[in-house]
Amino acid sequence: MHPRPRETKLAIKKNGILNEVFRSGSCQRFDLARRLNINATMMGNYVEELISAGLLVEGDPAAASRGRAPLHLNPQRGCFLGIDFEALRARGILCDFAGEVLERKEVSFRNNISRENVLNRILKLAKELADRADRPLLSIGIAAPGQVDCESGRVLHYRLLSDFDQVPLRDRFEQAFETALFVEDNIRALAYAELLRGSGKGSRNFLCLAVRSGIGLGIVIDGKLYSGSNSMAGEVGYLVFNTTQGPQLATDLVSAKGFVDSTLKLINTQKMTTGRKQLLDKEEVTLADIISVAEAGDDVLLEQLKQLGKHLGMLTANLANLFAPEKIVLAGEVPNCSLVVRQQMERTFRQYTLPQILTTVYLEDGSLGGFAGALGAAWMGFTRIFPVDEETLIQQAKEKQQAKHLTTKV
Amino acid sequence: MHPRPRETKLAIKKNGILNEVFRSGSCQRFDLARRLNINATMMGNYVEELISAGLLVEGDPAAASRGRAPLHLNPQRGCFLGIDFEALRARGILCDFAGEVLERKEVSFRNNISRENVLNRILKLAKELADRADRPLLSIGIAAPGQVDCESGRVLHYRLLSDFDQVPLRDRFEQAFETALFVEDNIRALAYAELLRGSGKGSRNFLCLAVRSGIGLGIVIDGKLYSGSNSMAGEVGYLVFNTTQGPQLATDLVSAKGFVDSTLKLINTQKMTTGRKQLLDKEEVTLADIISVAEAGDDVLLEQLKQLGKHLGMLTANLANLFAPEKIVLAGEVPNCSLVVRQQMERTFRQYTLPQILTTVYLEDGSLGGFAGALGAAWMGFTRIFPVDEETLIQQAKEKQQAKHLTTKV
DNA sequence: CTTACTCGTTATGATATTATAATAAGATAC
DNA sequence: GTATCTTATTATAATATCATAACGAGTAAG
């Protein structure tokens, strides 16, 4: 009837061990015992069981200065797939049981790609990578853009793809795959990757601000991703500011798309120059286009870039004052699109962050690059399969029992 | 040498039981076993030990429909003192071991009170309440305004009292009291009270926004207060918005003092009316004064009130979009200072909060009234004395050992 | 008004975890 | 180069925790 506390507690401990090894890559029994506050004798027993279950392996004995050989996850045990997509491209990662990258692939989308095509392209990408797997594929994580409902595995709305409302991502993937599937907000996936093995490694509280076509925020509190109700936390793009032009959304002020659109609008009210004309003649103006005209000496555009930096600085300062995090990890191309923007951003950030908070918090670039979201989605598979919180585990146990029940009945 | 894991784990469990009883007021052994995921047999043993230690008592047997009499904390075991102060007043609460209020007292400060006088008044308040205690005083919690450094027990800066920088609150209290002392941000204390027995009871994630002379934010995540680095999280007053008048701080837009000041400035640029003149003649204009003139038919002031509501609405909407909390608990007089303000606030909140987030989050008034901060400070004493996290416990154990060491040496 | 059930509690034997001491081997001090 | 210290691991005995069954008192069904 009730789930067995003893089994659950044991599973929590074993999963905790596996997760710790996943995080640290390699460690000895004693390290694990100390870090997880488990008796060394017990740790020896647990590890032995995990080794005979084929989950852990002992590595090179020479790597240990003392005692037995350090432990690793058995890379052959299985692999994880992560897919990350947004308006312009999709990226996929296939990693082994220890999280090491086996395969990676990126595909670009043409402009105004249809909803159906996006789905087909990411499905194809996932299949291609899954086919290359030479070991059991344990889970597929999908890092989706826009407003994501993780529960139902759908994208509720994404502004930058046409007709992208109520998109049943998980359902579509379930038709093509047998594997465990989950959908996560792409910024949270990115933040998770940075937490595990990127700039956030070792930090208990930090924020991950991604500014590219859109903007998003990943919140790590107490070493865990914070999702809020409905898993909707971090919708930083919808922050509203009462500016000279009336209320404006953060996404319109600092995202690449928002900035380009508002800048083009501004140009139309100013006198024309050669550089600006060139911009207006283009079919699709990018942030880089504006920067190159600005750096060629266009004062109006340069001022715009400074404004962009200022807005980014205010945004990060506000986040710092609210969360007092250890750091704010920056991702996406916008914060580093140009020196002008970055410097102004830093300056404004320092200006408006409380001095006391400024003593600890700082801006840092993400260290995992463009595949961070896909990596995070893949790595998340590990904790999903080996969860350490009671509720998820009890849930898992119940589902297993139900499955048993069904098979015995049939 | 090392702290004993067995002792620590046992202490965590026992403290967890005490905290659970503190939260729920009264419960049976079996409830505790289920809620804390501890075996019922063990729970029986633990409870027996806690009863013989004089911490728990059995209540009225008739209150239980089945089984043994429900458990309570032994109210005679001790009491807790909480002091909350801000620019205009100080409030104190003395509560028993179960958290029930024994005494309460409020004192008002005159305008421009000196730093020294503030300290003396709150010390006197604390002494008065402490003197009325008929059982051991276990801790004194001080809920302090402004930027608080909990670690050193000092107020770093508070705008609304003159010369209130680097105020060593804990040191001053330590000279007068022998009891355990701690200093906490007053909004966090308030949020803690609402979490335990107020509007936040039962919520795992919520925000507590206090808008009075200044503004502050308490953040509850995963059922715990979030403090950030340096315990500086929640400095919502320093959020900056790029408005028509240039960058402005949230505190200048929505706090009572900020609003009154900016409104007076505005009046000076407008044509004078009888009502406005009356305002300017006053020595000290309050929010209530402005409201009464506005409601007497002053359109300019009415518009100001609407602006105030709008700003409050935007602020809460931004917080909702960032945190996706279960609710935002409102405290302080400003959100309810007038119907105009509150209605406009709700309207704007609904306008700018993402629909998906709006399905769960709502604005709710705090239910503990003006003494909430003092209550929170008093109640916090309980978890400080009976902590449930490893680190604090190990810390406690070390301190005890050191004390022993010292006494044996002497 | 009886019977079967649920719920809170406790007793008992089985199992898991810890404290402690023992062992082995690298590191450090002299 | 030897003695001492530190560290990672294990064996053993003491202790804590759990699963299970048993009990008694309310509750619901007939």
**What DSSP assignment string belongs to A61-107?**
GGG-SSSSPPEEE-GGG-EEEEEEE-SSEEEEEEEETTS-EEEEEEE
A147/B354 CB distance under 8 A: yes
Interface of B with A in 223-242 (CB under 8 A): 224, 226-236, 238-242
Which pLDDT band holds residue A334 (cuts at 50, 70, 90)?
very high
Nearest-CB residue to A325 (from B229, B247, B356): B229
Closest listed residue to residue B144, CA positions, set B188, B112, B177:
B188
Query: Between A and B, how many residue pairs show a Cβ–Cβ distance under 8 A?
Result: 141
| CATH number of the domain to which A16 belongs | 1.10.10.10
Range of the domain at A61: 5-73
Determine whether the distance from the CB of A4 to the nearest atom of strand D is below 7 Å.
Answer: yes
Q: Which residues of B touch A356 (CB under 8 A)?
A: 147, 149, 156, 230, 232
Partner-chain contact A229 B326, CB within 8 Å: yes
Residues 193-252 of A with CB under 7 A from strand C: none
Q: What is the DSSP string of B73-102?
A: E-GGG-EEEEEEE-SSEEEEEEEETTS-EE
Length A362 CA → D30 C1' (Å) = 73
Q: Please name the helix (run of DSSP H) or strand (run of DSSP E) that holds residue B364, with its range, or none.
A: strand B363-365
The reply to whether the CB atom of residue A61 sits less than 7 A from any atom in nucleic acid chain D is: no
For residues A198-203, give the mean pLDDT.
Answer: 95
* Amino acid at residue number A257: K
State the pLDDT at residue B1. 43
Calculate the alpha carbon distances from B24 to A77, A392, B177, B196 in Å. Answer: 46, 25, 31, 9
- Write phi, then psi, for B332 (nearest 5 degrees): 85, 165
The span from the CA of B375 to the CA of B82, in Å, is 6
In a shared domain, residues B309 and B357:
yes
Judgement on whether residues A143 and A283 belong to the same structural domain of the protein: no
Q: Which nucleotide is nearest to B7 (CA to C1')?
A: C18
- Report the pLDDT value the prediction gives residue A404, as an integer from 0 to 100: 57
**Whole-number pLDDT of residue A367:** 96
Rg (CA), chain A: 24
CA A67 to C1' C27, in angstroms, rounded, equals: 13
Tell me the mean pLDDT in the region A257-283: 88
Kindly state whether residues A345 and A245 are assigned to the same domain: yes
The reply to whether residue B242 touches residue A314, judged by beta carbons under 8 angstroms, is yes
Residue A111, chain B, CB below 8 Å: the answer is: no
- DSSP symbols for B374-387: HHHHHHHHHHHHS-
What is the rounded distance in angstroms from the CA atom of residue A22 to the CA atom of residue A44? 18
Residue B325's SS3 state is coil
Q: With a CB-CB cutoff of 8 Å, which residues 245-274 of chain A face chain B?
A: 247
Report CA B372 to chain centroid distance, whole Å: 6
CA distance B194 to A74: 48
Average pLDDT for A100-123:
95
Check whether residue A134 and residue A234 sit in a common domain.
no
State in Å, rounded, how far the first CA of chain B is from the last one.
21
State the maximum Cα–Cα separation within chain A, in Å, rounded to a whole number: 78
Cα A4 to the chain's mean position, in Å? 34
Strands B215-221 and B224-225: antiparallel
pLDDT score for B409: 45
Q: Do A230 and B325 touch (CB under 8 A)?
A: no
The dihedral sign for the CA sequence A374, A379, A384, A390: negative
Report whether A366 contacts A121 (CB < 8 A).
no
In a shared domain, residues B103 and B150: yes
Domain final position from A73, A98, A115: A73
- State the nearest residue by CA to the C1' of C6: B66
Same domain membership, residue B376 and residue B333? no
Last residue of a domain, one of B32, B56, B73: B73
For residue A357, give the chain B residue with the closest CA: B232
Q: Do B232 and A354 touch (CB under 8 A)?
A: yes
B265 to A29, B262, B301: CA distances (angstroms): 68, 5, 12
Number of CB atoms found within 10 A of residue B117's CB? 13
Comparing CA positions, the residue from B327, B326, B356 lying closest to residue A151 is B356
CATH number of domain containing B84: 3.30.420.40
H-assigned helices in A241-367 = 250-254, 256-269, 274-281, 287-295, 299-323, 339-352, 355-358
Q: What is the DSSP letter of A389?
A: S
Q: What is the pLDDT of residue A409?
A: 44
Helices assigned H by DSSP within B333-410: 339-352, 355-358, 372-385, 390-409
Query: What is the signed CA dihedral for B150, B152, B157, B158, rounded to 10 degrees?
Result: 50
Q: Dig out the tokens for B197 from the structure.
A: 């027995």
The CA–CA distances, whole Å, from B248 to A243, A361, B252, B334 equal: 10, 22, 7, 19
Amino acid found at A15: N
CA-nearest of A20, A102, A8, A82 to A55 is A20
Q: How many H-runs (helices) and E-runs (strands) does chain A carry? A: 15, 17
- Measuring CA to CA, how many Å separate B139 from each of A135, A154, B155, B367? 59, 50, 19, 25
Q: Is the pLDDT of residue A161 over 50?
A: yes
Angle between helix A274-281 and helix A287-295 axes, rounded to 10 deg: 170
Residue among A172, A136, A135, A168 at smallest CA distance from A152? A168
Same domain, B147 and B246: no
- Kindly state the tokens that stand for B345: 């606030």
pTM of the predicted structure, to 2 decimals? 0.94
b/e burial code for range A299-324 (CB count within 10 A of at least 16 → b): ebbbebbbbbbbbbbbbbbbbbbbbb
Interatomic CA distance for residues A255 and A88, integer angstroms? 14
Q: Are residues A244 and A145 in the same domain?
A: no
Is strand D in 7 Å reach of the CB of B42?
A: yes
The tally of domains found in chain A comes to: 3
- Tens digit of each residue's pLDDT (9 = 90 or more) over A292-333: 999 998 899 999 999 999 999 999 999 999 999 999 999 999
Q: What is the pLDDT of residue B401?
A: 64
List the end-to-end C-alpha distance of chain A, in Å, as a whole number: 21
pLDDT band at A1 (very low <50, low <70, confident <90, very high): very low
Q: Are residues B311 and B353 both part of a single domain?
A: yes
B138 lies in the same domain as B247? no
Residues pairing with B216 in the sheet: B210
Q: Compute the CA torsion angle B211, B84, B187, A321 (nearest 10 deg).
A: 90
Residue-wise pLDDT tens digits, A227-248? 999 899 999 999 988 777 778 8
Asked if residue A357 and residue A209 are part of one domain, the reply reads: yes
Question: Which parts of A186-271 are beta strand (E)?
Answer: 206-211, 215-221, 224-226, 240-243, 246-249
| Nucleotide nearest the Cα atom of A34 (by C1') | D8
Mutual orientation of helices B287-295 and B256-268 as an angle, nearest 10°? 50
Task: State the amino acid at position A150 in one-letter form.
Answer: C
**HSE-up of B161 (CA within 13 Å, CB side)?**
27
Among candidate residues A21, A46, A73, the one where a domain is terminated: A73
- Note whether A206 and A200 are within 8 A (CB): yes
- Whether residues A282 and A345 share a domain: the answer is yes
Q: Please list the pLDDT of chain B residue by residue as tens digits (410 residues).
A: 455 788 899 999 999 999 999 999 999 999 999 999 999 999 999 999 999 999 999 988 777 778 889 999 999 999 999 999 999 999 999 999 999 999 999 999 998 899 999 999 999 999 999 999 999 999 999 999 999 999 999 999 999 999 999 999 999 999 999 999 999 999 999 999 999 999 999 999 999 999 998 999 999 999 999 999 989 999 999 998 877 777 889 999 999 999 999 999 988 888 888 888 888 888 889 999 999 999 998 899 999 999 999 999 999 999 999 999 999 999 999 999 999 999 999 999 999 999 999 999 999 999 999 999 999 999 999 999 999 998 888 887 777 666 655 555 44
Say what the pLDDT of residue B146 is.
94
What CA–CA distance (Å, rounded) separates A342 from B52? 64
